[in-house]
Structure 1
Amino acid sequence: MESGLAGWVQTIGYIGIFAVVFAETGLLVGFALPGDSLLITVGILGAAGKLQLFPAITALFIGSFLGNNLGYWLGRWAGPGLQRRVRADHLERTQLFMRRFGALSLLVGPFIPIVRALVPFVCGTLRMPYGRFLPLTLLGSLIWTVGLTLFSYWVGSKIPNLEKYVYLILLVGISAGVVPAAIRFFRRRSARSVEM
């Protein structure tokens, strides 16, 4: 059994994989869960023969799709009350994202932490017609779970023993997202100080 994240994924199994993605996308707790990291790890473990790829992808997809639907209905039924439980900056960021991308936010949003957890909820709160939400969230869940996992599987199949370096890979990936965000933050902050 692998140690660290890879070992944890093997330990929780397919039901655990399903539960993590379902909770991340449907219960407004996705801010602390390992979404993309989980998909990447599953793909790499699949390539190493330490996890069966088809059941894992199926669990990820169903978890994401059902979680998105739960988030939508939570937003529809209890949106204003639940909004108070979400950090204002996270909600504002998601609303700006949705204004920019419109309905396509259901296809792009799954790839962005925090936004991934809030887009279905905001769609429900804004009363997006369910007939429009359903096919878009189905496709968004499919692209995110299957696309990212299969890409990781492909990379893992080209590089032997990659599962031993999952933490390093994830650290590089996180840095690639955090560094540009930090640069944008400091540029905006500098621009505001110059205006004052």
Structure 2
Amino acid sequence: MLDSMLSVLFALWNQDFSILQSPGSAALIYSIVAVLIFLESGFIPAAPFPCDSVVVLSGTLAAVGILDPIAILLLICVCAALGSWASYLQGTWLNRLPRVQGWVKAVPANRMAQVDTLLGRHGLVALFSARFIPVVRSLLPLMMGMRASKVNKFHYFSWLSAILWTLLLCSFGMLLPLLPETMSKYITAGLMAAPVITLCLAIISFVILKVRKANTKQVAKVEVVQK
């Protein structure tokens, strides 16, 4: 069973349709796609998972008849929304910790009011935009869990953004078979690599900021000593 799951997972990564078309692979594809979407949408450590490209590839598999279009659309929508809900619950739990509450209380009240207003007015746009950005996809619902007071409004934004995200990427995937095979493979490969590249850039930027901050403090200490 594990060997079959690994072979399907590698086939998804390498776009090996000969393996994906084998009998019995459809059930494994549904399971793997569901797990990847849920984990990447709900847990920050799963950010490197190439979920955008998996959704696009799922649309392609539906277009060529390997997957059922309605079933895969519903599966991705539900897993994406449930993943965001899991991230939201993490935010509500973190908000109960004394240290986190101290950080929140340290922020000026007017700033927190602005955050609440932005989340209320632009929740759908924010969640929809975050769906396309690794880390932010699971980080924003977590922040909403720490700040949003109306759970019903979060569910509305979460489910609607999940539906729009799924329809957009799956529709794009369904159009890929109409393109030349070489071009469609390059596009899918680029989508696969995009989350890893984005995460690496974020880590590099974070390290650069830390190094600059440390250098600034060191220079300030030297100037104080010289005075």
Counterpart of 1:108?
129
Query: More deviation in 162-171 or 72-81?
Result: 162-171
1:59 is aligned, of 43, 51, 75, to 75
Contact 2:42 2:83 (8 Å CA) reproduced = yes
Deviations 1:143-191 (A, max 9, x none): 111211112212334445766556534368669979xx79xx7xx98xx
Deviations 1:117-163 (A, max 9, x none): 11111100113411211111111111111211112212334445766
Counterpart of 1:153?
174
Counterpart of 2:160?
139
Query: 1:56 is aligned with what amino acid?
Result: I
Counterpart of 1:17?
33
Counterpart of 1:91?
none
Q: Pick closer, same or farther for the CA change 1:174–1:29 going to 2, 3 Å.
A: closer
Give the alignment of 1:1-196 within 5 angstroms: 3=11, 5=13, 6-7=15-16, 10=20, 12-79=28-95, 102=119, 103=123, 104-159=125-180, 165=186, 168-170=189-191
Aligned mates of 2:157, 2:198 — CA distance in 1: 25
RMSD of aligned alpha carbons: 3.8
**Structure label with greater radius of gyration:** 2
Q: Pick closer, same or farther for the CA change 1:29–1:172 going to 2, 3 Å.
A: closer
Q: Pick closer, same or farther for the CA change 1:156–1:174 going to 2, 3 Å.
A: farther
- SS of 2:65's equivalent in the other structure is coil
Q: Pick closer, same or farther for the CA change 1:4–1:77 going to 2, 3 Å.
A: closer
TM superposition shift of 1:46: 2.1
Find runs of 4+ consecutive structure 1 residues off by over 6 angstroms. 174-178
Instruction: Among all aligned residue pairs of Structure 1 and Structure 2, give the percentage whose two residues are the same amino acid.
Output: 22
Q: Pick closer, same or farther for the CA change 1:64–1:117 going to 2, 3 Å.
A: same
Aligned mates of 1:154, 1:34 — CA distance in 2: 19
Contact 2:57 2:188 (8 Å CA) reproduced = no
Aligned mates of 1:174, 1:67 — CA distance in 2: 17
Contact 2:59 2:69 (8 Å CA) reproduced = yes
Contact 1:15 1:59 (8 Å CA) reproduced = no
Instruction: Give the number of aligned pairs.
Output: 174
Q: TM-score, normalised to structure 1's length?
A: 0.68
Query: 1:108 is aligned with what amino acid?
Result: S
Aligned mates of 1:169, 1:4 — CA distance in 2: 14
- SS of 2:47's equivalent in the other structure is helix
